[in-house]
Amino acid sequence: MQLRFLGHAALHLTTGSSHLYIDPYLSANPAAPEGALDLPCEFILLSHYHSDHLGDTVALAKRHGATVLTTNEIAAALAKEGVEAVGMHIGGKKDFAFGSLKLVLAQHGSGIAGGQAAGFVIGAEGKKIYFAGDTALYSDMKLLKQLWGPIDLALLPIGSHYTMDAHDAQVAVEWIDPSFVIPIHYNTFPGISADGEAFKRAVESTGRSHVVLLAPGATFDL
Ligand code: NI
Ligand code: MN
């Protein structure tokens, strides 16, 4: 499968014949690459309702007839806008055309009344991807590997201010023990600056996980 980084926490995933956006904050995203809005999609995964994640979700879902997979409260809000959305919740898992999706806790505001921010564990082509969403470090991250087996790729925020910083993300990597780590949610705008190279050096000094630094528009094949 192929993952394309679209700046900030926005991603596009191709697995088999399926295409997904994750948190498609694109038209207002100062880090989004050229053409970020023009990729195919049948699904959109939305971790929470903050504007730097919701982004172009509604417009993309309508243009492509895509289904949004998110938490229940957000799915209800999107349905009112005429978007097809599946409302899941933390701990729930469901199979879709691209593979499986499990919603996991994110320690963060949801951006919507009564809601809960989520992270995702995506299973496809025999691989597991953990997309942390916006979250603080929390000790239940230790359970990811224990409950669902090895994590091949972890996407972790490192920008601080709204989420964990690079130091805490380094602890998360130790607990999750993924083969690959891609840092996200940093250097998009002032206030969430972080040194990706320093994070890479620190993580890789342990001799376990590899850190992949993706420029916006760059892809990673898993
Ligand atoms: Ni947020
Ligand atoms: Mn955010």
Q: Does the pLDDT value for residue 23 go beyond 90?
A: yes
List pLDDT tens digits, range 52-70: 999 999 999 999 999 999 9
Instruction: Calculate ∠ Cα 150-3-50, nearest 5°.
Output: 90
pLDDT of residue 54: 98
In angstroms, what is the span from residue 134 Cα to ligand 1's centroid? 5
Q: Is residue 19 part of a domain?
A: yes
- Ligand number nearest CA of 29 is 2
CATH number assigned to the domain comprising residue 83: 3.60.15.10
Span 153-168, average pLDDT? 98
Find the mean pLDDT for residues 105-125. 96
Q: Whose CA is closest to 132, among 176, 194, 97, 74?
A: 176
**How many A from CA of 207 to the centre of ligand 1?**
31
pLDDT of residue 148: 86
CA of 1 from ligand 2 middle (Å) equals: 25
CA of 88 to the centre of ligand 2 (A): 20
Determine the distance separating the centroid of ligand 1 and the alpha carbon of 164, expressed in angstroms.
Answer: 11
Give the residue numbers spanning the domain of 155: 2-215
The tokens describing 64, both together, are 């492509």
Would residue 116 count as lying in a domain?
A: yes
What pLDDT is stored for residue 29 in this prediction? 98
Mean pLDDT, all residues of the chain = 97
Report the separation in Å between the CA atom of 16 and the middle of ligand 1, taken as the mean of its atom positions. Answer: 30
Whole-number Å distance between alpha carbons of 108 and 115: 10
| N-term to C-term CA, the chain | 6
Tell me, yes or no, whether 221 lies in a domain: no
* Backbone conformation region of residue 47, classed left if phi is above 0, alpha if psi is from -120 to 50, else beta: alpha
pTM above 0.95, yes or no: yes
Q: Is it the case that residue 6 has pLDDT exceeding 90? A: yes
Question: pLDDT-derived band of residue 26, with 50, 70 and 90 as boundaries?
Answer: very high
The pLDDT tens digits for 175-216 are: 999 999 999 999 999 999 999 999 999 999 999 999 999 999
Ligand 1 center to residue 117 CA distance, Å?
Answer: 8
Pick from 14, 56, 9: nearest CA to 37 = 56
In a domain, 222, yes or no: no
* Number of domains present in the structure of the chain: 1
What is the spatial distance between Cα 27 and Cα 16, in angstroms, rounded to a whole number? 27
Task: With respect to residue 177, please indicate whether it lies within any of the assigned structural domains.
Answer: yes
Q: In the beta sheet, which residues pair with residue 123?
A: 100, 128
Beta strands 93-96 and 85-88: pairing type?
Answer: unpaired
Tell me the CA–centroid distance for residue 52 and ligand 2, in Å: 5
CA 7 to ligand 1 centroid distance, Å: 15
Give, as one character, the DSSP assignment of residue 49.
Answer: -
CA distance to 38, 71, 81, 189, 198, per residue, from 120 (Å): 24, 11, 24, 24, 26
